[in-house]
Amino acid sequence: MKIKMFIDFDNTLFDTRKLKKDLFAVFSRYGFKEEEISSTYKKACEDYIYSPSEHADELYKIKPFDKKNAESELDELYKNIPEYLFNDSIDFLKNLDKDKFEINLLTLGDLDFQKKKVDFSNISKYFENIYYCKDQKWIFLKTLVEPNEKFYIIDDRGDALFEISKDFKLSSTIEINRASKPLDNMEQPAPYEGIKVKNFAEAMPYLK
């Protein structure tokens, strides 16, 4: 039987910080200050389910703007979504042992936004299953794996991996921290002491 592997999307396979910068640039063209965009972004992330549409709604509360046109500009970004994949993502997915692992994508967030990013990135073909969740991953995983089941998960959020390692004793957790990133608005500090890597090349030896 194959061992389940769950791979995160945002900031693991996909440079979400780069997309976030470009999203912010769209809103700035409508006269919003960086502080306004950042504070409303933080508010839109409070439930861990960010969507650009809700972000636009929060900005509209500050001052009216052509939200429909702004959202059209945001939609244009999706055409270039493959460019936001990290350089090592595709090769990593291609080189995983398909006989050993059941390879699954597990992504937390707004269903519409996450699905657009995944679909436009053209990576669905590398996964046996794609799971979109709104619950925290350590909760959602209880519907996918048994308490004493061995599985792997690669994610950029140390707080999520800390909880997963507590709830699933046989899990192998790998935190990928590209460019020593600061904590995102959706991530809470946690004493995660498991495997930490900076890229997929460093992760590969732990997947043998």
Phi, psi of 86 (to 5 degrees): -65, 150
- Which pLDDT tens digit goes with each residue over 7-53? 999 999 999 999 999 999 999 999 999 999 999 999 998 888 999 99
Query: How far is 105 from 9, CA to CA, in rounded Å?
Result: 7
Give residue 189's pLDDT.
Answer: 63
8 A C-beta contact, residue 176 and residue 156: yes
pLDDT higher than threshold 80 for residue 89: yes
Give residue 190's pLDDT.
Answer: 65
pLDDT higher than threshold 80 for residue 103: yes
Q: 179: closest CA among 199, 163, 159, 194? A: 199
Query: How far is 12 from 154, CA to CA, in rounded Å?
Result: 8
Tokens of 194: 């498991």
- How confident is residue 184, by pLDDT bands cut at 50, 70 and 90? low
Q: pLDDT exceeding 90 applies to what percent of the chain?
A: 87
